[in-house]
Chains A and B, each alone.
Chain A
C-alpha cells in the first residue's frame, strides 16, 4: 500500500510500505494492506512506518492531524512532523 505524509510546508514521505502505526486520538492503531476506508484524528505522538515484513522501520514525531485510508492509499495530514533516527 502507498503511504504519504503531508505537512503544510512540504511532502515529507511518499512511498510503498508494508504498514504504518499511528497515534490515534483514542489509542494507537496499525494500518496494513487492504484496510477498510477510514478517517481518524491523530494526536501528537510517534508514527512508525513499517517498510517491509521484517520490520525495517522509520519513525516520525508528529503533531496532531488526520489520517485518511482509501483504496489502499494512506494519507497522513499533520501540521508538523520531524523524522526520528531509528533506535
Chain B
C-alpha cells in the first residue's frame, strides 16, 4: 500500500516538473512572437511602396515591358524553397509544412520528381533533416538562416535562386511556408517565386508624369530582384512568427493537459491514502477484538 502511495507521489512530482517547463516555454514563445510580429509590421511599408513604384512604372508605360525573370519555360527542373523551423515542440507546424511540400511535388511535379529533377532548398533545420533523410535532392546552404535572421542572409538565398533561374538550372521556383494569421492560426501556402507573375496594369490608375532615371526598362530590371528579395524575406518572417505562434499554442495545450493529468493523479493519490488508513484501522480494531475475545 505504502509503495503505491509513493509511486503516485513521484508521478505527481514529475508531471509538475514537466508542466513548469511547458509553462516557461509558452512564456518565452509569447515574448518571441511579439518580436517576430513587430518585424513583419516594420517591413510592410517597404514592401508596399516597392510594389507601388513598380505598378507606377508599368501603368505609365505603353505596352509590355520585357522582363527575363517573367519568362515561362516548359517546366523541367523545379526548385522548392521549404521554410521550417530549427526546433521542434511546436505542434504540427513542421510536419504540416513538410506535408504540403510533398503534396505539391506529388500533385504538380510528379513527372519531374520521377526524373529526379526536383530540388529542395530547406530553410530551417527540421525540414532539412527530414528531406535529406528521405532521399530528396537537398541543399544545406541556407538551412541556418534562422540562427541569424537578417535581410542580408535572406537576400543571399533569394539572389542565388534568381541566378539559378536565369542560368536555366531551374524553370520554376516555389516557396512553401506558413503564412502568419494570428498566434493560433497559420495558413500553409505554396507561393510562386519565379517566373514572376505578370503585373496587371491598374485601370484608371492616376497618371503622373514621372521622370525616370534611368530608362523604364532598366528601372524594372533593377526593381525586380529587390521585389523578389522582399518577397522571400516576408515569407521567412511569416514563417518565423508562425513557428512561435504554433509553439505557444502547443505549449498552452500541454500545460492544460498536465493540469488535467494532475487532477486525476491527485484523486488516485487520495484514494490510495484513504485505503491505507482504512486497512490500518481494520487491523487495529480486529487486533483489539482478538485480545478481548
Taking Cβ atoms with an 8 Å cutoff, the residues of A that contact B are 4, 6-11, 24-26, 36-41, 64-66, 68, 70, 75, 77, 79-80
Assess the A77–B214 pair: CB atoms within 8 A: no
Cβ of A38: which chain B residues have Cβ within 8 Å of it?
210-213
A77 with B49, Cβ < 8 A, contacts A10-B42, A39-B57, A70-B208 known: yes
Q: Which residue of A lies closest to B211 (CB)?
A: A38
Interface of B is mostly: helix
Please measure, in the bound complex, the distance between the C-alpha atom of A38 and the C-alpha atom of B23, giving whole angstroms: 54
In the assembled complex, the Cα of A8 lies from the Cα of B45 at a distance in Å of 8
The interface residues of chain A lying within 8 Å CB-to-CB of B222 are 41, 64, 66
**Residue ID in chain A nearest B223 by CB atoms:** A66
Q: Which of B27-35, B135-143, B226-234, B263-271 contacts A (4 or more CB under 8 A)?
A: B226-234
Asked whether B71 is an interface residue with its Cβ less than 8 Å from the other chain, the reply is no
Contacts of A75 in B (CB 8 A): 49
Checking B45, B47, B49, B209 against A37 with a beta-carbon cut-off of 8 angstroms, the contacting residue is B209
Given contacts A36-B211, A65-B226, 8 further A-B contacts (CB under 8 A): A8-B47, A8-B229, A38-B213, A41-B213, A66-B222, A77-B49, A77-B53, A77-B226
Contact with A along B34-52 (1 / 0, CB 8 A): 0000010011011101101
- Tell me which residues across on chain B come within 8 A of A64, comparing CB atoms: 222
Contact of B46 among A7, A37, A68 (CB under 8 A): A7
Known contacts: A8-B43, A80-B151, A80-B152. The answer to whether A37 contacts B229 by CB under 8 A is no
Q: For window 120-157 of chain B, which residues contact chain A by CB distance below 8 Å? A: 150-152, 155
Q: What secondary structure prevails in chain A residues at the interface with B?
A: strand
User: Closest CB of chain B to A63's CB: distance in Å?
Assistant: 9
Does any Cβ of A come within 8 Å of B219's Cβ? yes
A55 to B230, CA, bound (A): 34
Task: Give the distance in Å from the alpha carbon of A70 to the alpha carbon of B52 in the complex.
Answer: 12
Closest to B208 in A: A37
Which 9 pairs from chain A and chain B are nearest by CB? Answer: A40-B213, A6-B46, A10-B42, A37-B208, A38-B211, A37-B210, A8-B151, A8-B43, A41-B222
| Chain B 202-243: CB-based contact to A (< 8 A → 1; otherwise 0) | 000000111111100011001100100110010000000000
The verdict on B117 contacting chain A, using a C-beta distance below 8 Å, is no
